[in-house]
Amino acid sequence: MSMTRKFNSSLLLWLCASAFFLSAVAARSESGDMKLHAQLIWGTNEPKSPDPKHKLVGKELEKKLKNSPFKWEYYFEVSDEKFNLPLQKEKTVNMSKDCAIAVRNLGGSVVEFRLFGKGKLVNKITQPLPKGQILVEGGNADNATAWFVVLKSIDD
């Protein structure tokens, strides 16, 4: 009988410790800030951008975009900004003269992403954005080119 009690006590201890650990990990995730990277990208089939400040996007992002239905030969980064976003906080980023985004950290890696054009709200999307995944909004631009706003959750 004493063996049974001892076993039960040990089992209970381990289970409680495991539950505490899982809860702690979950709580840490819940309370964590997000570090985000927003990019305004121009997609074109021309190998050179008229603006020398533009640089080609990274290979990883290029590969992702080229694997999508929205294919262009070259993707130039027009502007970008990395920022921290605490839980339940919102950050507005001006990507260009007429393009701005507002991002809110809803917790659990879920973001609310709003896109503004000339100060008007164009689109709002709420979705999980764990590290490594990207959220892209895009549209047509002049001369069969395209614009993209890319939001990515990155490591600290």
Partner 1 sequence: MNTEQQLKLQAFLDGELPEREARDVAAWLAQDKDATALLMELRNTRQALGGFEPEIRLPETREFYWSKIQREIQRLEPATPKKEAVPFSFWFWRLLIPAGAAALLAIAGLFAFLKLNPSSNPGAEMATMLADANPVTYRDQAEGMTVVWLSYPAEKEFTANSSGGRLP
Q: Determine the residue type at 21.
A: F
Q: Which residue has the tokens 């289970």?
A: 15
Instruction: Kindly state whether residue 29 participates in binding partner 1, applying the rule CB under 8 A.
Output: yes
Q: Can you tell me which of 93, 99, 101, 103 binds partner 1, judged by CB under 8 A?
A: 99
Q: Determine the residue type at 18.
A: S
DSSP 25-55: HHHHHHH--EEEEEEEEEEES-SS-SSTT-E
The footprint of partner 1 on residues 31-70 (CB under 8 A) is: 42, 44, 49-51, 54, 63-64, 67-70
Q: Determine the residue type at 35.
A: K
Q: Determine the residue type at 149.
A: V
Residues that bind partner 1 (CB under 8 A): 4, 8, 11-12, 15-16, 18-20, 22-23, 25-26, 29-30, 42, 44, 49-51, 54, 63-64, 67-70, 76, 78-79, 94, 96-99, 108-110, 115, 117-118, 120-130, 132-142, 145, 147
